[in-house]
């Protein structure tokens, strides 16, 4: 199973909005609404921030939002804050192999 494609890095200033894309195929992102997103501060436990494409777990800030169009899912972070600086990973169920595939990760820098 091939990794989903994410940009290696994105950046933005405090208060701005950024979007991270996650491109897969019609065997994963395009065929299932089982896309999730994780925030990872290195050295800490990764944290679920979006599941089922658009849903936010309890306690996760509403400045995180998710969407999907075709084979590409997106994570939008609005009103950037300094503690949003982290690595972000998308993940999708892959039906052909009954497995899970992650994106390569995107490093977000808050300028």
Partner 1 sequence: EVQLVESGGGLVEPGGSLRLSCATSGFNFNDAWMSWVRQAPGKGLEWVGRIKSKRGGETKEYAAPVKGRFIISRDDSQNTLDLQMNSLRIEDTGVYFCVWVNVGWFHSWGLGTLVTVSS
Which residue's structure tokens are 């933005």?
12
Task: Count other Cβ atoms within 10 Å, centred on residue 98.
Answer: 7
Instruction: Report in angstroms how near the CB of residue 28 gets to partner 1 at its nearest.
Output: 12
Tell me the closest approach of the beta carbon of residue 98 to partner 1, in angstroms.
Answer: 6
Cβ contacts of residue 53 below 8 Å, gap of 6+?
33, 35, 66, 67, 68, 73
Closest distance to partner 1 from the beta carbon of 25 (Å)? 16
Facing residues of 48 across strands? 38
| 18/101 with CB nearer partner 1 | 101
Nearer Cβ to partner 1, position 32 or 65? Answer: 32
Interacting residues toward partner 1 by CB under 8 A: 1, 3, 32, 34, 36, 38, 40, 43-48, 51-52, 57, 89, 91, 93, 97-105
d(CA 98, CA 8): 27
Closer CB to partner 1, 9 or 17, in the complex: 9
């Amino acid at each position: 199973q091939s990794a989903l494609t994410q940009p290696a890095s994105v950046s933005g200033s405090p208060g701005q909005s950024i979007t991270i894309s996650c491109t897969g195929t019609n065997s994963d992102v395009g065929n299932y609404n089982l896309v999730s997103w994780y925030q990872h501060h290195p050295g800490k436990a990764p944290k679920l921030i979006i599941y089922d494409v658009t849903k936010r777990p309890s306690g996760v800030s509403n400045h995180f939002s998710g969407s999907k169009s075709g084979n590409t899912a997106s994570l939008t972070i609005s009103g950037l804050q300094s503690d949003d600086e982290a690595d972000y990973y998308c993940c999708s169920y892959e039906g052909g192999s009954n497995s899970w595939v992650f994106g390569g990760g995107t490093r977000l820098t808050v300028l």
